[in-house]
Amino acid sequence: MLRLRAEILAKIRDFFAKREVLEVETPLLASAPVTDVHLHALRCRYRGPDADDGRDLYLQTSPEYAMKRMLAAGSGPIYQLCKAVRDGEAGTRHNPEFTLLEWYRPGWDHHQLINEIDQLLNEILGVRSGEKLTFGEAFDRYAAVDVFADTDEALRLRLEADGGRFPEDLSRDDLLDLILTHIIEPMLGHCQPTFIHDYPASQAALARIRDGENPVAERFEVFVEGVELANGYHELTDPAVQRKRFEDDLEARRKADLPEVPVDERLLAALDHGLPDCAGVALGIDRLVMLAAGTREISDVIAFPIERV
């Protein structure tokens, strides 16, 4: 496994070197974590010069914010292979400490980035070119659900028809996410990678929203053999809209009785300075190695999973 991982990392670096994408490094420690209610950062206390009383820092859940600051400073296309840490995540496909490949392409939209991911997966996994489905098409094909027209109660009944029982207070996005993970995801990416794009606008996170009869987020996810492998965006560049999303997240965190976290003002300052139009994606290296090795357990491909730390 160590040799396989090393071979894959070498191929990735060669892939980006040929395309003149610069490898960068960003800190593991951050002054502010993500505000997303579904991601939980580990907090630590730094004591040293200029912080005699101590300063709260957070282990990054991804390098996204720091890399966007680089982009705003004029870095051009960049990628990073790094560790990320998320509290509360452990299982067959999750480890609290994991390896990410994250990259950004100024001047590209999410469809151009999807094409490059397709090329990377062909080189690493030897898979054929992937298929593209909108979020709505995937739900219609694999779950007989109309994402925009079906009521919340219809979504709940669809989940229960598949044998599940779930809390009564789930939001519409929670219901859609459960249908995706429990019903649709296992069906995806078996003959070729599947790229799901155009998510509901309520699930935009850090993506821009495209107006229309049913506005959609210019966001995508990649699935191979039923495994979610990557998540990417045509990146939001408007600092006012991003601040509003952070504020909405903080309100959702308060309602969910989650810990208060600071907003990353340095990221917002970078957006205000000018983030170039770009697309970015984060791809899970451990899951990529799992697929290459033919195993279904993430602990098989990590030298020191959480139970052996």
For the entire predicted model, the pTM comes to: 0.94
Tell me how far apart the alpha carbons of residues 303 and 2 are, in angstroms, rounded to a whole number: 8
Quickly state the pLDDT bin for 207 (edges 50, 70, 90).
very high
151 burial via Cβ count (<10 Å: 0-12, 13-18, 19+): exposed
pLDDT at 82: 98
CB contact set of 226 (below 8 Å; sequence gap of 6+): 185, 186, 187, 188, 189, 190
Q: How far is CA 147 from CA 85, 110, 304, in A?
A: 32, 21, 40
| Sheet strands side by side (includes 29-30) | 29-30, 51-59, 43-48
Task: Say whether pLDDT at 89 is over 90.
Answer: no
DSSP, collapsed to helix, strand or coil, labels residue 271 as helix
With both helix axes pointing from N to C terminus, report the angle between 135-143 and 172-179 in degrees, rounded to the nearest 10. Answer: 60
What value does the mean pLDDT take over residues 9-28? 98
Tell me how far apart the alpha carbons of residues 75 and 68 are, in angstroms, rounded to a whole number: 9
pLDDT at 244: 96
Quickly state the pLDDT bin for 194 (edges 50, 70, 90).
very high
Main-chain phi, psi angles of 196, to 5 degrees: -95, 125
Tell me how far apart the alpha carbons of residues 293 and 197 are, in angstroms, rounded to a whole number: 27
Quickly state the pLDDT bin for 209 (edges 50, 70, 90).
very high
Tell me how far apart the alpha carbons of residues 215 and 45 are, in angstroms, rounded to a whole number: 42
Residue range 27-43, pLDDT digits in tens? 999 999 999 998 999 99
Task: Say whether pLDDT at 53 is over 90.
Answer: no
User: Which residue matches tokens 């109660």?
Assistant: 153
Within a 13 Å sphere around the CA of 85, how many CA atoms are in the beta-carbon half?
Answer: 15
pLDDT at 163: 80
171 burial via Cβ count (<10 Å: 0-12, 13-18, 19+): exposed
Quickly state the pLDDT bin for 164 (edges 50, 70, 90).
confident
Q: Of 87-91, 259-263, 292-296, 300-304, which gets the smallest average pLDDT?
A: 87-91
- Tokens at residue 152, please? 């919340």
What value does the mean pLDDT take over residues 254-268? 94
The alpha carbon of residue 53 and the mean position of all alpha carbons in its chain are separated, in whole angstroms, by 35
> What single string gives the DSSP state of each residue in 137-185?
HHHHHHH---TTTS-HHHHHHHHHHTT----TT--HHHHHHHHIIIIIG
pLDDT at 50: 79
Within a 13 Å sphere around the CA of 266, how many CA atoms are in the beta-carbon half?
Answer: 14
- Tokens at residue 148, please? 């925009």
Task: Say whether pLDDT at 52 is over 80.
Answer: no
pLDDT at 86: 96
Residue range 232-259, pLDDT digits in tens? 999 999 999 999 999 999 999 999 999 9
